[in-house]
Chain A
């Protein structure tokens, strides 16, 4: 029985991986720093640990979907991330893809 659970958790991880990027992009039309993003996503039911989010933010920045800026005015310096124009475009396109994917998958599930 445990192998079924393990398999499911492995597959869920794969499914979640893509959705996390959509989640992150969705929240960055306003600048956010890493930990505030963790809290916001948590609140909305998408849990991601900081150890995954922080490297992901850097990767998205490297892919030019995000822009970043250090804010040193607060009590501690924080790196804020914001959608780049390209990131905005990519996000909108991703949302359309996501919706069409959902409807296809739902179709398949209902028919079977």
Chain B
């Protein structure tokens, strides 16, 4: 009866462990009953066994019946959102890596052939990674959502026409393109910042065809702040995601935006109040790159701008944040006004 054991194993090995033993025993009993019925108590031959198993059907079909209908990694309810997020992520990876590649190619044009190969490989692996992580994240959401039977609870609630969302007021509406563009921009900056921080600077293409960079940042120092900056980026994407889902300005969304502004201000102040993040040799590098010559009028202007900017970076960031905050408050005011 080896084949019966194999059949039962084929049906049950993918079922939840808790039910497995029970179903195994039940199937064993069923198959024995069916055999007995077929042979009327007589000798059981191989053909009988085979016919009984054929009657029960393909093991994966039987297993599917035991599992019920829910066979989604990502259910139709979540799929639209999944699709949007996936497109954003893949597009950002492609654009970001392409920009990095173009910069690198401009800096080292000699490497032609192998360089393109490397670019294609990194593009493919990154896209696969992006796809995998988005899918895993949604899979987890789906799994937990169903496990907590949250979806069922929603279904049980009575639906009332008064729950229908208001047609968005054009003044408070958020166009989908706005948060999407913002997420893509954020992701591209992240990729550039993480992958090639040393290219953030003044790039000079020499007449001889070589390129020299005078970087803005001290790579080593700013890298220690990367985890903090990544946190900020995650928050920023969360903020845009909420905007995308909400589709219009609400009091809660505005409140979250204000919180985000405060958080981003705190993080950026922490980073930029450390003067070590700036490249201490920037002015020398600039001279070495041949853009300006030491002691010239141009050099004086550049060094003034550089020193002023690095000193007052915190204030610039604060000013931008305040402007954005005022804008949000104004939006809020309009929401109030439109009610």
Cβ-closest chain B residue relative to A55: B65
CB distance from A14 to the nearest CB of B (A): 14
- Cα distance A49–B37 when bound, in Å? 14
Given contacts A35-B34, A52-B65, contact A76 B29 (CB under 8 A): yes
A76 touches which one: B32, B57, B62, B66 (CB < 8 A)?
B32
Inter-chain contact A51/B65, CB cutoff 8 Å = yes
Q: Which residues of A contact B23 (CB under 8 A)?
A: 58
B30 contacts the other chain (CB 8 A): yes
CB distance from A85 to the nearest CB of B (A): 22
Chain B interface size, under 10 / 10 to 19 / 20 to 34 / 35 or more: 20 to 34
Inter-chain contact B66/A58, CB cutoff 8 Å = yes
B220 contacts the other chain (CB 8 A): no
Inter-chain contact B56/A79, CB cutoff 8 Å = no
A98 contacts the other chain (CB 8 A): no
Inter-chain contact B61/A51, CB cutoff 8 Å = yes
Inter-chain contact A49/B26, CB cutoff 8 Å = no
CB distance from B40 to the nearest CB of A (A): 13
Q: Which residues of A contact B66 (CB under 8 A)?
A: 54-55, 58
B29 touches which one: A33, A39, A59 (CB < 8 A)?
A33
Given contacts A34-B26, A77-B25, contact A51 B33 (CB under 8 A): no
A78 contacts the other chain (CB 8 A): yes
Inter-chain contact A50/B34, CB cutoff 8 Å = yes
Inter-chain contact B30/A49, CB cutoff 8 Å = no
| Total inter-chain residue pairs, C-beta < 8 Å | 48
- Cα distance A70–B27 when bound, in Å? 13
Per-residue CB contact flags for chain B residues 61-89 toward chain A (1 = under 8 Å, else 0) read 11001101000000000000000000000
Which A46-83 residues have C-beta < 8 A from chain B? 49-52, 54-55, 58-59, 70, 76-79
Which B8-30 residues have C-beta < 8 A from chain A? 19, 22-23, 25-30
- Cα distance A49–B58 when bound, in Å? 13
CB distance from B1 to the nearest CB of A (A): 13
Q: Which residues of A contact B208 (CB under 8 A)?
A: none
- Cα distance A59–B61 when bound, in Å? 16
Cβ-closest chain B residue relative to A36: B33
Cβ-closest chain A residue relative to B22: A79
- Cα distance A77–B34 when bound, in Å? 14
B55 contacts the other chain (CB 8 A): yes
Q: Which residues of B contact A55 (CB under 8 A)?
A: 62, 65-66, 68
Q: List 18 A-B contacts (CB under 8 A).
A: A34-B26, A35-B29, A49-B55, A50-B56, A51-B56, A51-B57, A52-B65, A54-B26, A54-B66, A55-B65, A55-B68, A58-B19, A58-B23, A58-B66, A59-B68, A76-B28, A77-B25, A79-B22
Nearest 7 CB-CB pairings of A with B: A35-B33, A55-B65, A55-B66, A51-B56, A51-B57, A51-B62, A78-B29
Given contacts A34-B26, A77-B25, 15 further A-B contacts (CB under 8 A): A35-B29, A35-B30, A35-B37, A49-B57, A50-B30, A50-B34, A50-B55, A51-B56, A54-B26, A54-B27, A55-B65, A55-B68, A58-B23, A58-B66, A76-B33
